[in-house]
Amino acid sequence: MKRRIGILTSGGDCPGLNATIRGAAKACYQLFGTDDVEIIGINDGYSGLINNECKEMKPSDFSGILTRGGTIFGTKRTPYKKMLVIEEDNVDKVKAMKDTYKKQKLDCLLTLGGNGTHKTANLLSQEGLNVIGLPKTIDNDIYGTSVTFGFHTAVDIATDVIDRLHSTADSHDRIMVVEIMGNKAGLLTLYSGIAGGADMIVLPEIPFDIDKLAEACEKRAKNGKAFSILAVAEGAFDTEEAKLKKKERARLRAERGETTASNRIAKEIQAKTGMETRVCVPGHMLRGGSPSAYDRVLATKFGVRAAQLIKEEKFGYTVAMVKENVTENKLIDIAGKPKLVPDDHQLILTARDMGISFGD
């Protein structure tokens, strides 16, 4: 029986997407036989599924991509909240995706992505399609898996950024505020902050008090350390903003001309302490480049497990790592459930016992 398997990557790119695609493809060819499987690459995520932008792949297309960053299929953000909305183009997106699935005669669809991708994957699963998810995000914020591919590489890159800031901060006696990606979850900032030796770590899960951060900088100066490094998650907000609803916070920041709190943190610390501050935003550099050795192995294992699930005809699941074992969770159980940093996270406690301030 010949199987036709569709693969798409959706949402933000990250290192490890191609390694996962490769692992899944090679395992499918091995498990089913090269002549008994056809892999269909879907361009630009769910947008390509909606518009039937597909292409048949050859085994050779999956060679040489283990170390390649980004995604060979391209990716777009197609927000889940718009999936059920018919906009000006009059396209019923869910119907269009189901139609493409049928036109391409797919037996299964692999979706590589983060929280939004998994919500849409679950939607399609509930609509009767055979769907298997694969957890990708540099934020490591997908519920039910201890790690996502892309996270460790991003931690390595963010750590290198923080490492490099130490010497210039020390040379000029400056406060360096480095903004790390992470809108709702602060795991990337937490890990890279500790690995890079940051003196203060500011997370979305722990609203900060600017006076506490300024006091921490002054305390270091009094102890003979005239520079400080603050690792700040892009989604961090202060204790006053914490009292507001999300839309109210967004409106307030728009009035201030802000998108994140990083520049305000730097400005206010300088005003309160008199110490020179600078802001560094590595931004999309954290998403780019070749995956680390860890992520290459993890992505390969995840891709192979997806192929095994196809063979087992176990659909409506997403691959996961639980207690060092590659396994799977039901899409319906994890879709729409972000994984945030709890107050008693071991690394939070470790950091506090080292004297690292979270500004609370």
Half-sphere exposure of 330 (CA within 13 A, CB side): 3
CA 7 to CA 110: how far, in whole Å?
Answer: 5
CA 161 to CA 356: how far, in whole Å?
Answer: 18
Q: 199 catalytic, yes or no?
A: no
Q: Please report the beta strands in 32-130, taking only residues with DSSP state E, as ranges in sequence order.
A: 37-42, 54-56, 108-113
CA 282 to CA 157: how far, in whole Å?
Answer: 9
* Residue 192 tokens, joined: 């890279």
Using an 8 Å Cβ cutoff, are 135 and 338 in contact?
no
Any bridge partners for residue 180, and if so which?
A: 233
Q: Is 294 exposed, middle or buried (0-12, 13-18, 19+ CB in 10 A)?
A: middle
Indicate which residue of 139, 141, 238, 295 is catalytic.
139
* Residue 228 tokens, joined: 């400080």
Written as one string, the DSSP assignment of 211-265 is HHHHHHHHHHHHTT---EEEEEETT--BTTGGGS-HHHHHHHHHHHT-SSSHHHH
Other beta carbons less than 10 A from residue 67's beta carbon: 14
Q: Which amino acid is at 229?
A: I
CA 36 to CA 305: how far, in whole Å?
Answer: 19
For residue 132, report the phi and psi dihedrals to the nearest 5 degrees.
-130, 130
Q: Which residues, at least 6 apart from 312, have a Cβ–Cβ distance to it below 8 Å?
A: none
Sign of CA dihedral 50, 51, 57, 62: negative
Other beta carbons less than 10 A from residue 18's beta carbon: 27
Q: What is the DSSP letter of 284?
A: G
Any bridge partners for residue 229, and if so which?
A: 176
* Residue 256 tokens, joined: 């201030």
Active site residues: 139
